[in-house]
Structures are given as structure tokens and as C-alpha cells.
Amino acid sequence: MRLAELSERSGVSTATIKYYLREGLLAPGRQINATTAEYDEEHLRRLRLVRAMIQVGRVPVATVREVLRHVDDDSLGRTIRLGAALWALPQVPEPDAEDEYVRAAHGETEQLLGALGWSNAQALVTISPAHRSLVVAVAALRRLGYDWSPELLMSYARLMHQAAVLDLDFMETHPSEAEKVEIAVLGAVLVEPMLQALHRLAQEEESARRYGFE
């Protein structure tokens, strides 16, 4: 397809597509002559991913470029490739290691991972942004005096494991390695907000069932 058709099918303007091409977010099309290139379904799929990350996920262009670099790195095994792509997304800053609540949260999360039998997650605690986010959240709850018990946290973790199984089962329905990693990235950018919305809707529903609307 030519640039105009790519624009029409994707809903992205030709000017924006040209910008993405200049920024290296899309691979160049197959050159037909000095002024015309041809694009295929791979370009359309990648364009939709880029657009979702930038427009919906509000991910900066430089970060999108870094994420896509890992998506396309077929020298990596699937787990490392997935991790590298997801870790390139915006993350929470490193917490203060001297903070007593942060130290306690580190110990608590390590105990949680051990109790769950998540040995692979335990191996990544020093580098995983997800683990850092968990520590920051647990430390904040403790600092604010909320009695969020380890048992309750474990119940939530088990629910999240069920969600992770669904995530990877869906990811594995896509044929290529690049598509699988793209689906994981879209999950972080789009599905996580969807799950958060479902969680809040479920809270509203349960609140209404228990307490009515008075």
C-alpha cells in the first residue's frame, strides 16, 4: 500500500506517519522510485502500536523508540525481551533505601514472593521496576498507618497471577515473537488501565449491593 492508503487505514495523518518514519518508530517502506515507497501489513500493525503508546498511553517519543528497540531485538530470549521492552516504559523513581518504611517494605515483599513461590520474581528484585513499584506502594501504606495485612496482599497477588496467565495465554495466540512482545507492551499501556477501571467499577457495584445508594 502507498502512504495515503496507510494513512487511511490507520487513521493517522500522512504528516504524522512521516514524522514517525523520521524518528525511527516505523521502518522505511519498500522504495518504488525516488519519491514513492510501499508499505505492508507489518507497517500498519506497528503504526497502530506506536499511535496507541503515544496518543493513549502518553508515552514520550524517545521512550517509544527505546521500547521498540527491545521489541525488535530477536537476539534476546522471550522473557528478557518482554522484560526489556516493559522496563523501558516510564517507571516510578528509586525509593530512598535509608527510609525505614522502604526497608521494611523490601523485607515484606521478599517474604511475600517467597510464600507465593515466585522464585523467578525473587531473582529480579534488584532490577525489576515492578518490584520497585510494589515496595513504594507498600511503604506508603505503612507510612500512612494502614493495616494492609500480608495475608490480604497475598490474596491480591494470587488474583494477579491469574490475570498474568490470561495475559500470556492471549499473547501466545499471536504468531511472531515481535507480535507477542507488542501485545505485552499494549497490555501495559492499555490493558492495565482497563483492569484498573474494571476494579473500580467492581468496587462501585459491590458498594451499591452492600450499602445501597443512600
Q: What's the pLDDT tens digit per position in 53-67?
A: 888 778 888 888 888
The rounded distance, in Å, linking the Cα atoms of 115 and 113 is: 6
- Residue 15 CB: number of other CB atoms within 10 A? 8
CB 177 within 8 A of CB 77: no
- pLDDT of 205 reads 94
Sign (positive or negative) of CA dihedral 93, 97, 98, 101: positive
CB 138 within 8 A of CB 148: yes
Query: Does residue 87 surpass a pLDDT of 80?
Result: no
The rounded distance, in Å, linking the Cα atoms of 88 and 163 is: 22
CB 183 within 8 A of CB 174: yes
CB 211 within 8 A of CB 105: no
Mean of pLDDT values over 4-15: 91
Which domains are delineated in the chain?
3-87 (1.10.1660.10), 100-211 (no CATH)
Query: Does residue 139 surpass a pLDDT of 90?
Result: yes
Mean of pLDDT values over 196-204: 93
Task: Name the pTM for this structure.
Answer: 0.72
- pLDDT of 93 reads 83
- Beta carbons within 8 Å of 101's beta carbon, 6+ residues apart: 139, 140, 142, 143
Predicted confidence band of residue 144 (pLDDT cuts 50, 70, 90): very high
User: What is the chain's mean pLDDT, rounded?
Assistant: 86
The proportion of the chain whose per-residue pLDDT surpasses 90, expressed as a percent, equals 29
The rounded distance, in Å, linking the Cα atoms of 202 and 85 is: 31
- Residue 26 CB: number of other CB atoms within 10 A? 22
Predicted confidence band of residue 16 (pLDDT cuts 50, 70, 90): very high
Predicted confidence band of residue 128 (pLDDT cuts 50, 70, 90): confident
Instruction: Name the residue type at position 165.
Output: V
Measure CA 48 to chain center.
16
Nearest 5 degrees, angle CA 57-CA 21-CA 5?
90
- pLDDT of 207 reads 94
Lowest mean pLDDT among 48-52, 85-89, 126-130, 140-144: 85-89
Query: Does residue 169 surpass a pLDDT of 80?
Result: yes
- The residue with cell 500500500 is 1
- pLDDT of 18 reads 92
